[in-house]
Structure 1
Amino acid sequence: MVATASVPKLTVPGPAVTTPLGRSLSAFRFATDSIGYSRQLFQAYGPLVSLVQGGGTHLYSPLPNCPGTVLAYGPELVRQVTSQHEVYHKHPLSGKMYRKRHLSERTEPLKHFAVGLFGVNNSAHTQQRRLVMPAFHKQRIESYRDDIVTITHAVLEQLPVGEVCDIAGVMRLLTMRVASQTLFGYDIGESNAGKLLQESLGMMAKPLMVLLPFDIPGLPYHRFLNLISQLDDEMRSLIARKLEQGSETPDVLSMLLSARDAENGLKLTEDELLGHAGVFFAAGHETSSNALTWTLFLLSQHPQVAADLLDELDSLLHGEAPTIEQLQQLPLLERAIKESMRVLSPVPWNGRVTSQDTTLGGYDLPAGTEVFVSIHQTHHMSEVYPQPEKFDPDRWITQEPTNFEYNPFSAGSRTCIGAAFAMMEIKLVLAILLQRYRLQLIPRLKVDGVGLIVMAPQGGMPVVVYPQDRNFAQGVGGVRGNVREMVELPQ
């Protein structure tokens, strides 16, 4: 999209446009390999770079006027963006599609699909967050421990020992079932809402959704509108059922239904309920499943860490799932997860849009500028993390980075509200799985990390499942793909 005279041009440095399709090509390169392409731009132009010189790109913002897209990394820029809530706004995960919410009856579900806390800012965000916070209090989160353990055992029971399976798909199913149970009070086998949400979110990543946004049978956009319409019906039915039950069941949706603002007595509207439920489901399983997958991948390629971690688990748990108290007594498990989320960040970017003219890194940013802060690149700064591409859980014994240096769950007032839940879930699943199985990568596996909202292994993560036999040296080395540019791996 070419910038017009009515939209200010960006002065942030970036690659010059040399062809009529230059802006589209740069946007395409970023969308298909955001980490690799941004690494090149940061090396060439510094920690603040425009996707193209002069701006004119428009990737995410639902606002009509967008001067362009800038990418940033580093603790100081992270601090400026995440600490100025009133300047750097969030918008729904549906991005530019959000603009279509009033076009027809078919597009009405876009009013709340993938909105939640992403769709509100300033005082509205403060109020909404205050309303949903009780569902994520420590005691409430810990009450989900038994559900997570039960579902984990049920899913792992089905792993084909001695055969190849896609562990990324298994982790996605597991976390989807956990999210469904804790959010709706129904396991995925009983609720269709989870499946509809999963497919709807997957549709948003299809290029033809953007290129051909027409409600014509056979096109992805038509299928997407069908899905979110079905999801709307399913979610409204769930809400009606919860209201009939008196909202006393211990799930997030019931908590949201009974939430009241202590200051003014306001409660969530139905649109707000639908928006929060969808976003919590999406964030609650996509990010966790990718964090689990990447951690299992890294452990498969670092046999000494895997052996030490199993020693820690065995000595305390003796094959059992951890209690809440025992989760605090597994320091290497905590360090391995933190290091995994540093070196292969499940959420590589923090997207914002400037609500007013501002300055960042010494450059003027007009209102409406898209700002993508690179969590991944910040986590790979040698000034903060010596040998940043090395997977080294022991660095966390002595290193205590600030929230602006290490922010897998973002930072500031918009820190992920479900961060504590995610960490508990990841720890429980890993502790159970690693005591029971050893996962061995298939030979010469090509592993490409892709994605903008979340980073996932393209095509999954095929492994051979073995009973835990401690043969950690098997299957080490030979990995191909762009993951080798992100983390040091054995040859």
Structure 2
Amino acid sequence: MLTSVRPQSLSVPGPNPKTELGHLLNVIRFGQDSIGFARQLFQQYGPIVALRSGGGSNLYSSDPNCPGTVFAYGPEIVRQVATQHEIYTKHPLSGRIYGRRNESNRSQPLKHFGVGLFGLNGDVHRQHRQLMMPAFHRQQIESYRDDIVALTASTLEQLRPGQVCDMSEVMRLLTMRVATKTLFGEDIGEAGGGIGQLLQEALGTLGTPLLLFFPFDLPGLPYHRFLTQIGQLDDLMRQLIDRKRHTIDRDRDVLSMLIQARDEVDGTGLSEDELLGHVGVLFAAGHETSSNALTWTLFLLSQHPSVAADLLDELDSVLHGAAPTIAQLSQLPLLERVIKESMRILSPVPWNGRITSKPTELGGYFLPEGTEVFVGIYHTHQMPELYPNPSVFSPQRWETIAPSMYEYNPFSAGSRVCIGAGFAMMEIKLILAMLLQRYRLQLIPNARIDQAGVIVMAPKQGMPMHIHQQDRQFEQKPGTVRGNIREMVQLPT
């Protein structure tokens, strides 16, 4: 007779709510403001803390016997987790919902939706990453420059001086267009639509709290809508893959390259389901993170006019109003420092989630097999011993510091560093260089900016900004900003 063995309890310190309702409220608080809630826990319990004392929490894992959830930060924590990838494994982006993949015919797409490199571990992960590397070789990445420039120019043409725009939405649509063009070879257009839009909608539904609390395939519920969306996406993607197989010799988008990829030893390629998983994850990880990195950088520049003025001087002196060539990108050191500092102080991806595959030790504490571990990228970037005055936006600090990958890791670290990091940096640089030469953006007075999110950090109410022709009027006061963003960045009063 089979018997189930309950996981060992966590010894990591943390809050001890007396009721399940109290624990649920903590889960909700983490979902609403993961950074702020974890900051409070770290201040009270130290750099490694449990969501619930003794364990019994489950945010990410599809294992119903998950022994608990741990948050931790610091270079040594990052090093342990990033280098011991056989112990600290990844899990599909669909999280707990992944456990429902065999429930019905409608749930079958969950077997690959949100999986990709995020849901692979060990030898399979290494093999698939090797197959995907040619699509992210430097020369291949640079070949997308013209597409990014054309799509950016098209977006900038739609902006009108004098209007107020939600720049987070503008950047989201632009990076979605870039993602669909480079991944699938198709432009969704200025209004959006097609596969990219459906992917975005499915990811949005996946983030709905009610989907986790009421995962029932009944009309009117988010889970029902989600299954419908990923089913439609499956059909469209399979049709696209079939078309690509007939135009494979002339198409150079990422999907076409992945269809052609073959293992050097045994000649095997990626199955159709594996292709669906990889492309979906590349889309989600690519455009969401780039969109938020761009949005937060525009916000920080609007609040630091002297930095914005210096950056425009650099852009003008090198580019003279034109879009950068690949060679010119290396001639813009301040642009790179601004982006690096933006991703340090407002990390687009604040957490790196893992699950322990065997019992282990972290930060002096024993972790049972199956423990969820959330490594705080944002909180590591805020350590004053690594970055003096960490809440100050100071691009010039990068003139004198050279942190290790465990001290600065906006794209993760170790063997699982983001495969698209080089592409993302090129995309962000090209878009910022073109936009800032053409327009001056000013946050509307008294705007409320709250950061929110777990997988990605985004402005909850958007980023409403006045569009001005680039007139160099940087001496104008940025204006008062409200919201929890003031807990993260030192802003003008």
Q: TM-score range by the shorter chain?
A: over 0.9
Tell me the secondary structure at the aligned position of residue 242 of structure 2. helix
Aligned pair partner of 1:483 in 482, 485, 492:
485
1:351 offset after TM fit, Å?
A: 0.2
Q: Which moved more, 1:186-195 or 1:252-261?
A: 186-195
8 Å CA contact retained: 1:247, 1:258: no
Alignment of 1:118-137 (within 5 A): 118-137=118-137
Distance in 2 (CA, whole Å) between partners of 1:473 and 1:55 is 53
1:235 offset after TM fit, Å?
A: 0.4
Distance in 1 (CA, whole Å) between partners of 2:169 and 2:477 is 20
8 Å CA contact retained: 1:440, 1:475: no
Distance in 2 (CA, whole Å) between partners of 1:248 and 1:387 is 52
Aligned to 2:308: 306
Aligned to 2:56: 56
Distance in 2 (CA, whole Å) between partners of 1:252 and 1:246 is 11
1:18 offset after TM fit, Å?
A: 2.0
Aligned to 2:224: 222
8 Å CA contact retained: 1:448, 1:483: yes
Aligned pair partner of 1:262 in 261, 264, 270:
264
- Deviating above 3 A after TM superposition, structure 1's stretches of 4 or more consecutive aligned residues are none
Aligned to 1:144: 144
Q: Which moved more, 1:70-79 or 1:4-13?
A: 4-13
8 Å CA contact retained: 2:86, 2:357: yes
Alignment of 1:96-111 (within 5 A): 96-111=96-111
Tell me the secondary structure at the aligned position of residue 15 of structure 2. coil
TM-score normalized by the length of structure 1: 0.98
Distance in 2 (CA, whole Å) between partners of 1:334 and 1:306 is 13
8 Å CA contact retained: 1:440, 1:474: no
Aligned to 1:6: 6
1:2-31, Cα deviation, whole Å (9 max, x unpaired): xx9822110001111222322212111111
Identical columns (%): 66
Q: What is the total number of aligned residue pairs between the two structures? A: 488
1:172 offset after TM fit, Å?
A: 0.3
Distance in 2 (CA, whole Å) between partners of 1:246 and 1:20 is 55
Alignment of 1:10-159 (within 5 A): 10-159=10-159
TM-score normalized by the length of structure 2: 0.98
Distance in 1 (CA, whole Å) between partners of 2:22 and 2:193 is 46
Distance in 2 (CA, whole Å) between partners of 1:374 and 1:294 is 18
Tell me the secondary structure at the aligned position of residue 218 of structure 1. coil
Q: Which amino acid aligns with 2:113?
A: F
Q: Which runs of 5+ in 2 are unaligned?
A: none
1:376-433, Cα deviation, whole Å (9 max, x unpaired): 0000000000000000000000100000000000000110000000000000000000
Alignment of 1:327-342 (within 5 A): 327-342=329-344
8 Å CA contact retained: 2:303, 2:492: yes
8 Å CA contact retained: 2:165, 2:464: yes
Aligned to 2:283: 281
- Give the alignment's Cα RMSD to 1 decimal: 1.1
8 Å CA contact retained: 1:442, 1:475: no
Structure-2 change in CA distance of 1:391 and 1:361 (3 Å) = same
Tell me the secondary structure at the aligned position of residue 353 of structure 1. strand
Alignment of 1:47-446 (within 5 A): 47-189=47-189, 192-446=194-448
Tell me the secondary structure at the aligned position of residue 105 of structure 1. coil
1:191 offset after TM fit, Å?
A: 6.6
Q: Which amino acid aligns with 1:117?
A: L
Q: Which moved more, 1:102-111 or 1:291-300?
A: 102-111
Distance in 2 (CA, whole Å) between partners of 1:145 and 1:237 is 27
Q: Which amino acid aligns with 1:44?
A: Q
8 Å CA contact retained: 2:448, 2:461: no
Q: Which runs of 5+ in 1 are unaligned?
A: none
Distance in 2 (CA, whole Å) between partners of 1:52 and 1:94 is 23
